[in-house]
Amino acid sequence: MKGPFGIVPVVVAALVILAIGYAVGMRGNGSDDRQPAADATAGTEAQAQAPAPPRPEDAPAAPAGMNAAAFWQLTADTRAEADNNTERQSELLEERLRRLPPEQIAEFERIRHGLDEQAYSWDLWGAAYVIEDGCSDDCFRDFRAYLISLGRGPFEAAMRDPDSIAPVVQDAETGDWENADDVAPDAYEEAAGEEIPTGDSEASGDPSGEPWDDEQQEELVQRYPRLAARFR
């Protein structure tokens, strides 16, 4: 006959066996308390691999305000894109200007008008005269527009010494002077629905500097020896 505590070791042993079996069964299921943590880690990795949303600083910049630097940059860009074709450059320039606010188009025209007035000189008219072996008012207007279309470097060089542009300029036919158009008024009218407020865009009055006599051709040739050597 067993004592009052003889059954205790048996009960304890049975409980230990049950606990071990339960633990083994849980491992076999493959789903434990660590699974949510693994899922969270996978989600974090997926987010890290996804492309980041665009930041404000990555967005295209709005057009800068129009000034002399922007004017010459537009001129250079369109000249290069047109592969030095004057008519195509005028078309591209008008397309670019139409995308700008009307006030910037008006400022572009104001800058261009100022450059045209600077170039309205007897010195530059003489250069055009030698290139073409004669150059009327209309011819000289076209030449100034063409000179501006060539860009800042040639324009400023011509203002310092018109004869220095001999390696750069073309004659009226080859350079297509007539199609170096002032396109800002048309671009402004399309953008704003009204005429550009800057008034007449052409230089007026008498050219600056000392006049020359077109009857004295030899003097002009001597005055522009490099242009004469190339175009005469």
Q: 136-170, pLDDT tens digit by residue?
A: 999 999 999 999 999 999 999 999 999 999 999 99
The percentage of the chain sitting over the pLDDT mark of 90, rounded to a whole number, equals 65
pLDDT for the residue 200: 62
pLDDT for the residue 54: 39
Q: What is the mean pLDDT of the chain?
A: 80
pLDDT for the residue 163: 98
pTM: 0.72
Q: Which residue has the higher pLDDT, 57 or 122?
A: 122
191-200 mean pLDDT: 84
Is the pLDDT at 55 greater than 60? The verdict is: no
121-131 mean pLDDT: 97
Is the pLDDT at 64 greater than 90? The verdict is: no
Long-range contacts of 97-101 (CB under 8 A, 24+ apart): 97/183, 97/184, 97/187, 97/188, 97/191, 98/187, 98/190, 98/191, 99/63, 100/63, 100/66, 100/187, 100/191, 101/63, 101/191
Give, in degrees to the nearest 5, the angle at Cα 82 between 141 and 162.
40
Question: Please, which residues bridge with residue 208 across strands?
Answer: 121
54-69 mean pLDDT: 57
pLDDT for the residue 75: 98
Cα Rg of the chain, angstroms: 40
CA distances in angstroms from 14 to 7, 140, 141, listed in the order given: 11, 116, 113
3-state class (DSSP) for residue 121: strand
Query: Residues 70-94: pLDDT tens digits?
Result: 999 999 999 999 999 999 999 999 9
